Structure 1
Amino acid sequence: MKFISWNVNGLRAVMKKNFMEVFDAFDADFFCLQETKLQAGQIDMPLKAYHQYWNYAEKKGYSGTAIFTKHEPQHVTYGIGQAEHDQEGRVITLEYPNFFVVTCYTPNSQNELKRLDYRMEWEDAFLSYINQLDAQKPVILCGDLNVAHQEIDLKNPKTNQKNAGFTIEERQKFTTLLENGYIDTYRALHPEQTGAYSWWSYRFNARKNNAGWRIDYFVISERLRPQLQEANLYPQLLGSDHCPIEATLDLELNP
């Protein structure tokens, strides 16, 4: 099964560029979006053969997630079941007999780390939620997790150590996630690959110079490691300041 994740940084904007071409070319089983920046009814997606699931932020033009899938789930959950964390449309979970699929848009700690304290609360709550799922069946988590885990995951680690997305606190939370029984699929298959990024600032010709960060991930339960076949990034695909990422797993929907 092919899984795609893409922070589109405004779905209406990327629809005017190349979204449908990218979508059709991937022909994925699951196509997960973050930062859709939509409210209900603001867009009509002509996606034949796909079920659509949307989670919207209460604040207009902000955050938001979606999953388009060929496979109708048993159950759909929006958010993580905690009101203080479920106002921004950041999480969708699809349940199948053999696994869960979760897409997530992790809160950014923002300039001057003014939202870092909230980010830490979110991380603990989200890990608890994921662990509850994993106790039932394996989890495939994807999305913009807003952290570059190791120095290899961004172009300029030395100058970014106190910036949102590369603080010690955020990186440790990602380490803790992995220590709870999950793997970073890209690093599992490409442990030494440098220059592999999924987000670039719009400033300073960052994308042209590949001065990027890898902050978009597929993270899976460790017991799915034997089924992991591919993990890829597609920096050549434009339309957003993030690029699409992919994971392919040998999975069956049913036992």
Structure 2
Amino acid sequence: MVTPSSFAITTVNVNGIRAAVKQRNENNHGMIPWLSSELPDVLLMQEVRADEATARKALASALDAGWHLSMAESDVKGRSGVGILSRTAPTAVRIGFGSDEFDTAGRYLEADFELGGETVTAASLYLPSGAARTENPKDVEKYEEKVRFLDEFGPYLDRLLASGRQIVIAGDWNIAHDERDIKNWKGNRKNSGFLPHERDWVSARLDSGWVDVAREHHGDVDGPYAWWSWRGKAFDNDAGWRIDYHLVSPALAGRATRTHVGRAQAYDRRWSDHAPVTAVFG
């Protein structure tokens, strides 16, 4: 239960905002019914895949009900895009992290809110998915893009942490940190999202002081996963990945009281291939 002094921040890769809103709404299983039921204080969205005007049209019923939308569009139509839905208006919004290459790619958006009696920065991240480095030029391009993003974003996270602000960065990190975070880890050791240099990059963030609050709260267990392929029986067999998580500045992480994955009750009730992941702070 979220008390008046506590707040909830949820992250979800919506896999296309128009599809997430349209999908299964007629059976009360889509994104809008979920939003009305769960009522997080802040919802961090990834892969919006729409410009702001289109996103506002898709989310019109939520905006009419008082939700506030902030967006960082991609400069490539129909790709990427991150957004923040909030129950109160942000006091400041910032797009990007000072990258000439990535600030127009719709991959990072942060906003300040008055939550729980203090100013909290909540950021939505959609990290590139990358690829294993093969002889295929497209794989090489995706691999190198992810490396460049990590090389630029890591120092930015270090600076954020050093600022002393209360910060939550959540989203689709596209990296499973360790074997507990992926069901078939043995079969994915050479695949993007579980490559050694990617996992080492996450370890470096945790070693610097960022806290993975879900791992802290769930302990040494497998998962809980929040992404499952649409294909086959991945969802039914819980053969998933934990690539959607919150990294939180230490003082604020100490106020985390609960985290949970909003896993759909059945395959046909999913409105994205990702499930919402929520962290509650008291």
- Residue 10 (str. 1) matches residue 16 (str. 2): yes
**1:104 aligned to which of 114, 125, 147:** 125
Q: TM-score, normalised by structure 1?
A: 0.93
Question: Which shows bigger deviation, 49-58 or 111-120?
Answer: 111-120
8 Å contact from structure 1 (residues 100, 133) kept in 2: no
Preserved CA contact (<8 Å) 2:161 2:210: no
State the secondary structure of the residue aligned to 1:98. Answer: strand
CA distance in 2, matches of 1:229, 1:195: 18
For 1:165 and 1:123, how far apart are their aligned partners in 2? 12
Q: How does 1:186-205 map to 2 (within 5 A)?
A: 186-205=214-233
Query: Quick one: which amino acid aligns to residue 18 of structure 2?
Result: R
Residue aligning to 2:243: 215
Aligned to 2:258: 230
User: d(CA) in 2 for partners of 1:224 and 1:76?
Assistant: 20
Tell me which of 63, 78, 92 is aligned to 2:80: 63
Q: Secondary structure of 1:60's partner?
A: coil
Aligned length: 250
Counterpart-to-counterpart distance in 1, 2:184 and 2:131: 18
- Aligned residue type for 1:26: E
Secondary structure at the counterpart of residue 125 of structure 1: helix
Deviations 1:204-241 (A, max 9, x none): 22111111100000110122232111111122261111
- Residue 81 (structure 1) shift: 1.6
Distance 2:208 2:220 in 1: 23
1:91 positional shift? 0.7
Q: Is the 8 A contact 2:49 2:78 kept in 1?
A: yes
Change (3 A) 1:178 1:110: same
Q: Give the structure with the larger helix fraction.
A: 2
Letter in 1 for 2:81: G
Question: What one-letter code is carried by the residue in structure 2 that aligns with 1:244?
Answer: P
- Aligned residues with identical type, % of pairs: 30
Structure 1 unpaired stretches of 5+: 251-255
In the alignment, the residues of structure 1 paired with residue 36 and residue 185 of structure 2 have an alpha-carbon distance, to the nearest angstrom, of 36
Tell me the amino acid that sits aligned with residue 7 of structure 1: N
1:247 is paired with a residue whose SS is strand
Give the Å deviation of 1:195. Answer: 4.5
Q: Which residue of 2 aligns with 1:206?
A: 234
1:129 deviates by: 2.0
Are 1:195 and 1:210, in contact at CA under 8 Å, matched by a contact in 2?
no
CA distance 1:129–1:5, shift in 2 (3 Å): same
Partner letter of residue 51 of structure 1? Answer: H
Aligned equivalents of 2:12, 2:109: Cα separation in 1:
14
Q: Is the 8 A contact 1:189 1:231 kept in 2?
A: yes
State the Cα distance separating 1:82 from its structure 2 match.
1.3
After superposition, give the CA deviation of every residue in 1:76-96 in whole Å (9 maximum; x if it has no partner).
101112121123101111124
Distance across 1 between alignment mates of 2:277 and 2:186:
26
* Matched residue SS, 2:54: coil
What TM-score do you get using the length of structure 2 for normalisation? 0.84
Q: Relative to structure 1, is the Cα distance of residues 220 and 108 closer, same or farther in structure 2, using a 3 angstrom cutoff? A: same
Instruction: Pick the aligned partner of 2:47 from 30, 35, 58.
Output: 35
SS in 1 for 2:34: helix
Q: Which has the larger radius of gyration?
A: 2
Look up the match of 1:169.
197
State the match for 1:253 in structure 2.
none
Please state how far the C-alpha of 1:69 moved relative to its aligned partner.
0.9
220-229 vs 163-172, greater mean Cα deviation? 220-229
State the Cα distance separating 1:201 from its structure 2 match: 1.3
| Counterpart pick for 1:50 among 67, 71, 81 | 67
Question: What CA distance in whole angstroms lies between the structure 1 residues aligned with 2:167 and 2:86?
Answer: 16
CA displacement 1:179-206 (0-9 Å, x = unmatched): 1111111110011222421111122221
How far off is 1:134 after superposition? 2.7
Asked if 1:122 corresponds to 2:149, the answer is: yes
- 2-11 or 42-51: bigger deviation: 42-51
- Identify which of 240, 248, 251 aligns with 2:280: 248
> Which ranges of 4 or more aligned residues in structure 1 deviate by more than 4 Å?
none
